[in-house]
A and B are shown apart, each in its own frame.
Chain A
Amino acid sequence: MGVIEDSAMLDDSLQGSEGIDKQFLAAPVKSAVDKFQLLPEFLKVRGLVKQHLESFNYFVRTEIKKIVRANDLVTSRFDPSVYLRYKDVWIGKPSVVVDGVTDSLTPQKCRLSDMTYAAPIFVNIEYCNGSHGHNTHPQFKKDVVIGRMPIMLRSSSCVLYGKDEDELAKLGECPLDPGGYFVVKGNEKVILIQEQLSKNRIIIDTDKKGCIQASVMSSTEMTKSKTIIRMEKEKVYLVLNAFTSKVPIMLVMKAMGMETDQEVVQMLGRDPQYATLLLPSIEDCASIGIYTQQQALDFLEKKRKKSMSRFGKDEGALGVLRDIFIPNIRVRDNNFHLKCVYVVVMLRRMMDAILNKDAMDDKDYIGNKRLELSGQLLALLFEDLFKSMNDQLKFNVDKILAKPSRSSRFDVSQHLLKDSITVGLERSLSTGNWDVSRFKMHRKGMTQIVTRLSFIGAFGSMTKISPQFEKSRKVSGPRALQPSQWGMLCPCDTPEGEACGLVKNLALMTHVTTDEEEGPIISLCTCFGVEDLSLLSGEELHSPSSYLIILNGLILGKHRRPQRFAKVMRELRRAGKVGDFVSIYVNEKQRCVYIASDGGRVCRPLVIADNGISRIKEHHMRELKDGVRNFDSFLREGLIEYLDVNEENNALIALYEGEATHETTHIEIEPFTILGACAGLIPFPHHNQSPRNTYQCAMGKQAMGNIAYNQLCRMDTLIYLLVYPQRPLLTTRTIELVGYDKLGAGQNATVAVMSYSGYDIEDAIVMNKSSLDRGFGRCIVMKKISAAFQKYDNTSDQFSSPRRSQHDAEKTQILDNDGLASPGEIIRHQDIYFQKECPVDPKGSMKSHPSQTPYRTSKQTYKGAEGETAVVDRVALCSDKRNNLTVKFMVRHTRRPEVGDKFSSRHGQKGVCGTIVQQEDFPFSERGICPDLIMNPHGFPSRMTVGKMIELLGSKAGVSCGRFHYGSAFGEPSGHADKVEDISETLVKHGFCYNGKDFLYSGITGMPLQAYIFMGPIYYQKLKHMVLDKMHARGMGPRQLITRQPTEGRSRNGGLRVGEMERDCLIAYGTSNLIYERLMISSDPFEVQVCRKCGLLGYINYQSKTRVCSTCKNGDNISSMKLPYACKLLFQELQSMNIVPRLTLAD
């Protein structure tokens, strides 16, 4: 009946549409309201890495309390009156205890002195020391520290929370830094977002053999398990880890108390198709002769793995069915009805898939995925560590209580260990290994060091999503661009190579949800007419007149008017009565209404439209501009709402207001938000060939420029900076939103697109020497070198002042009297920058007076490029964990571009500098404009980077008229990108040709060039790959110890290998002497003595100056010859394995 009404409503609306049509015509023309202003407002409220912060805040505020509440009691095994109960838990302010004094921490301080930015975890405890003491009343203690929790920067527990720009500057922090990472032992670590398949949801797919199966990954606070129901050879089986083999499903149903087959078939639905599909399984079950629950349980008991009893608490097969088999469906009072229903729903969905392949679930569909964020991952870790700590506490208390006589007064609270949690969290964060054996979780590479190569690179690591699969899998499905990614994950930003398409990045407006209470939603649902499942008969379960209501994978019941129900729920959400991020999704195909309130769903804000008319009006935006409104008020008033991927399927979203029709339910805020922060830097990306944008996303992270406002106060291992970074002439809205215009990574170069000199083939660029002289592409490379003063048992390293008269006085020139290089000194290759006195015998006799211990000087020499001079920028002294004094030197090297340095525009067009040419040889226009670099036009046809050409035009117009032009993605209709037509007009107005081409003269001859040259400014990035760091050649040099062949690699001053293929070429060419020379003379020649008789190697006895064969015991038949040493080594190694290689000599 409900359905009938629904369709009536639909009819109503259809008729209504005809009726409204007249009104529509009469209504004023829909003005496109500029909703862009919402974006900065959104980012102000949520920040760019809001997902991390929100997740961490949720953990700190809610989840940690839940965890502690769930495990709040520790009782002794021997004396139940001895207990400890956690009353409350909270995280304090970041601080560190040094020598008993609590010192507050700031992130910058931690970075500089290799500390962990962490805050104490406080608990209030109630405990009782048992009947032994006279005191049996519970005792209380407040503010007990149980460990230290690393704090995410900018989270609610961080000192930076809510600080304005000035206050941040005082704390040494960059106001543009997004936060969202941790500082662990001085390293900035970010927990990567983990992509996973949804938990507690039925997923229909096929296994390796092509059998259709329904699987559920169940995850509750207690257990995690995977349940699979599979159709194999027409029979349905249950596959569960707790059973040794697959189990017929009907048997399981019987074991759960559903003894009659009819009941199952009834629940499955009236349609005979389903019954037919189930028939073989029913027959199968009957053929084994199992008819009752007890028989079934006995059968299952035999199949049960005995080792799995930990969770089942050894209650037999029934225990397994209760606690391991789909544990997300709770069993109360051994009533398995709900579980049976769930199994039947799984069966039904599986059979739907068999009957109709379309009903299969797509594993790659974003709606079937959940993103695990730092908060959730830390919660897992914390839970494990907290439980381990309690176990340890219990163990220790039991040990003491077990002793017959105790000397001192016993106090439970004294046995709380605070190190295990601190150390555990710190270790996991710094290594990235999550080993939680309790949840069978062993994952590696969960954390990453924040890339501080460029400002945008740091953003990249914060939005990166690491995949669930191993990268080696050769499937294309998960790598392909999913339509459901729209607006949620950036379609451009993914690495090339093996992780292509698997590693993704969040889009600009994406929000990732956190868990929300289910209780209120369940009661709301019942209020709105959801019929409880336990009140329904089996027949009604799949009756065609109503829909199933499923909340987070839990079947709540049925509803007769699903559309009405969904509408009401959505209205409640818009009114703020239900959480903003609760999604209501009506799946007509499955006849289900899915309500989701779980964490890890991706969602994004959209403007709500009624009958295609946006709820946001001009005056709303005006109020926003006046500061009367903010993003939250839009949300609260129901103008904007968050939709997750599933609910988007119920919405019709118009890109622009003008395109909205009657059916439109939502309107996009801004189309360019489908891109992420990295892709947002590209001007006119919608004019480029798609892979080019992907390349740029990878290269933007390697571009040099400004890192942060505090870049000169940082002590990172490697910093690349540009001397004169600029903001791009052609900007995008994203650039302004993320702050790239303030911390740019490139320079606006005047580029002439022409061929010049032949040194510009294969994407090489020709650079103007005068531009380089004036500072174009000049960069600063800063490297950190550390040195430490070690402490030993009795002695420690000492400062040492250099003796200036020594033979190496020249090398110690830059040292101060304390043996440390002084800042500002020029440092060259092989210079000594650090010198200390080490005790000769560090273990040292304990008795001797410190002044008598002998010392020796130990030096550290600088290894830089030969012939290059660097400068000691800063010297910092700090104490490390073990209270040793460490010295950090920052060595600065300023470089100007040279031939071979890598540059790139913002369109994935990288190239090396091919040659550097004097300015007077460069072409010039009659206005006197001379390009900074020349790019070969062959770079364009195959790359199809039209965006770059438009960038050139736009920048040229920009410099002429003095206004920054815009090139936001898809921005032309909304005015966030300038149109080529308008740009041309500007150009013409300023005396340029509309097509951006100029009439140039050759600088060499002074004659006009044959063609008009496309010339204008393009934003160029200097990439971190520089010749100076890579160039390598060697003549003579070090050799490996065992083979005596030259070493490998630039860092070891190694040789260049003539490999297999090179050798093949030489053989084919027939230059045998060259091969001989390369493979032996220049590699590892060795003279050996060979016995002609036995063919084995002999030796020269240098004392008697005779040659001896050790096998023949004489020196009669010895000849000497040359061999590669590796060959001699092989012979000897073979001999050691009882294989005798014999040399037979000719002549």
Chain B
Amino acid sequence: MEGASYQRFPKVKIRELKDDYAKFELRETDASMANALRRVMIAEVPTIAIDLVEIEVNSSVLNDEFIAHRLGLIPLTSERAMSMRFSRDCDACDGDGQCEFCSVEFHLRAKCINDQTLDVTSKDLYSSDHTVVPVDFSDTGSGFENNEDQRGITIVKLRKGQELRLRAIARKGIGKDHAKWSPAATVTFMYEPEIHINEEMMETLSLEEKTSVVESSPTKVFGINPHTQQVEVVDREAYTYDDEVLKKVEAMGKPGLVEIYAKEDSFIFTVESTGAVKASQLVLNAIEVLKQKLDAVRLSEDTVEADDQFGELGAHMRGG
């Protein structure tokens, strides 16, 4: 490692933490770091999802592939996923992916016997492993209406006489292969905005002009202090970089009244999980995966492999 070190020590400050929601600040790093984290969370944190469906009986209105696709998209609790094996490199089962180390078996048996339509939901899936079950939204208390009818994710509706019987195998996978393995519902970040209000100039404005400045922003960023009648930043992060305020100020002939910059080294992350992994765990797993990836690069740094793997880039990494 010749040359100047650009090593930095990013700081994380957690703002809000729920089971399936996290909001935190990531400071003292740059966009590449933040984006890498985001990308890994979406695409490379492993989870478990149904991958193989064997249908025994299906007399429902939806066809087999349809049901299989729906089953695949049901999030399963995947705390175990990090330690599980990918079935493609599982040596316990010659890659057919049916052993306990790399797969979880599910069964579903449903038949409608009365005149009412029967909703087959994710609750009807019986798992062979109690740690891997369909995510239950009713007890997380996370924004979902916690009513009695909430019976999980509907798979199919059956009318009298229709039946669905199947065996499903869930495997570990990553979001890159299929979106069903992505643990993230939403991962996004924004640059933290820095808003400067030129107080002196603001003083010159009438109250009406002040309100027009405040209202020019589609989101509630500014407010007028009812006591001091001064324009204040109410919610800095509500700012969506829409430039509306700046345009307004410009149009009023007062450039510089408000100045907004994006802090280039500080990010506000919003992470929502599908429920497969807790949001906090998702971030940690992502860092873990990111580390592993970096390790893989470092391991092959000096070897010939690096040349195979990275070509010219490998030489470059070695300082060539």
Contacts and interface: CB of A to CB of B under 8 A. Distances in A.
B320 to A, nearest CB: 25
B219 A991 contact: yes
A773 B188 contact: no
Contacts of B63: 780, 871, 873, 892, 894
B43 interface: yes
A723 interface: yes
A724 to B, nearest CB: 9
Contact of A993 (B218, B238, B272): B218
Interface in B16-63: 31-32, 34-36, 38-39, 42-43, 55, 58, 61, 63
A124 interface: no
A928 B35 contact: no
Contacts of B43: 918-920
A926 B65 contact: no
B179 A927 contact: no
Contacts of B35: 1003-1006
Contact of A991 (B73, B182, B218): B218
Nearest to A772: B179
Nearest to A919: B42
Contact of A871 (B39, B64, B178, B180): B64
Contacts of B190: 926, 1001
Nearest to B270: A928
B31 A994 contact: no
Nearest to B42: A920
Contact of B241 (A769, A774, A999): A999
B148 interface: no
A925 interface: yes
Contacts of B187: 928
A770 interface: yes
B191 interface: yes
A894 B62 CA distance: 12
A1131 interface: no
A786 B247 CA distance: 68
A1007 B189 CA distance: 10
A927 B219 CA distance: 12
Interface string A53-81: 00000000000000000000000000000
Interface in A980-1023: 987-988, 991-994, 998-999, 1001, 1003-1008, 1012
A926 B240 contact: yes
B42 A999 contact: no
B157 interface: no
B218 A1005 contact: no
A1096 to B, nearest CB: 63
B244 interface: yes
B261 interface: no
A579 interface: no
A928 B186 contact: yes
The secondary-structure label for the interface of chain B is mixed
Interface in B224-245: 238, 240-242, 244
B175 interface: yes
A1006 B32 contact: yes
B32 A1005 contact: yes
Query: How many interface residues does chain B have, given as a range?
Result: 35 or more
Interface in B252-268: 262
B293 to A, nearest CB: 14
Nearest to A768: B179
A924 interface: yes
Contacts of A824: 55, 58, 64
Nearest to B240: A999
Interface in A637-662: none
A775 interface: yes
B242 A993 contact: yes
A1003 B34 CA distance: 11
B175 A770 contact: yes
A994 B240 CA distance: 13
Interface in A906-939: 918-920, 924-928
B222 to A, nearest CB: 14
A351 to B, nearest CB: 71
A712 interface: yes
Contact of B178 (A773, A873, A999, A1012): A773
A920 B55 contact: no
A723 B66 contact: yes
A1007 B188 contact: no
B39 A920 contact: yes
Given A1006-B32, A1006-B34, A773 B65 contact: no
B156 to A, nearest CB: 13
A928 B272 contact: yes
B240 A991 contact: yes
Contacts of A773: 178-180
A920 B188 contact: no
A1003 B58 CA distance: 41
B69 interface: yes
B159 interface: no
B242 A926 contact: no
Contacts of B31: 1005-1007
B167 interface: no
B123 interface: no
A919 B244 contact: no
Interface in B180-228: 180, 182, 186-191, 218-219
Interface string B258-301: 00001000000010100000000000000000000000000000
A1120 to B, nearest CB: 52
Contacts of A770: 175, 179, 182
A933 to B, nearest CB: 15
B176 interface: yes
A1004 B55 CA distance: 40
Chain B CB count within 10 A is highest, among A998, A1004, A1006, for A1006
Interface in A755-787: 769-771, 773-775, 778, 780
Contacts of A778: 69
A734 B178 CA distance: 39
Contacts of B182: 770, 919
A162 B39 CA distance: 59
A925 B189 CA distance: 8
A1006 B61 contact: no
Chain A CB count within 10 A is highest, among B34, B35, B262, for B35
Contact of B179 (A723, A774, A993, A1007): A774
Contacts of B58: 824
Contacts of B65: 871, 892, 894
Interface in A149-166: none
A10 B68 CA distance: 77
Contact of B188 (A928, A987, A1008): A928
Contacts of A774: 73, 179-180
B176 A1006 contact: no
A992 B187 CA distance: 19
Interface in A1063-1113: none
A19 B61 CA distance: 70
Contacts of A924: 188
Contacts of B66: 723, 780, 894
Given A894-B66, A999-B240, 15 more contacts: A771-B179, A773-B178, A773-B179, A774-B179, A775-B69, A775-B73, A871-B63, A892-B65, A894-B65, A918-B43, A1001-B190, A1006-B38, A1007-B31, A1008-B191, A1008-B262
Interface of B: 31-32, 34-36, 38-39, 42-43, 55, 58, 61, 63-66, 69, 73, 175-176, 178-180, 182, 186-191, 218-219, 238, 240-242, 244, 262, 270, 272
8 smallest beta-carbon distances between A and B, as pairs: A1006-B35, A928-B186, A773-B179, A926-B190, A770-B179, A928-B188, A1006-B31, A920-B39
24 contacts: A712-B61, A769-B179, A770-B175, A771-B179, A774-B179, A780-B66, A871-B63, A873-B63, A918-B176, A925-B188, A926-B188, A926-B189, A928-B186, A928-B270, A928-B272, A988-B218, A991-B219, A992-B218, A999-B240, A1001-B189, A1003-B35, A1005-B35, A1006-B32, A1006-B36
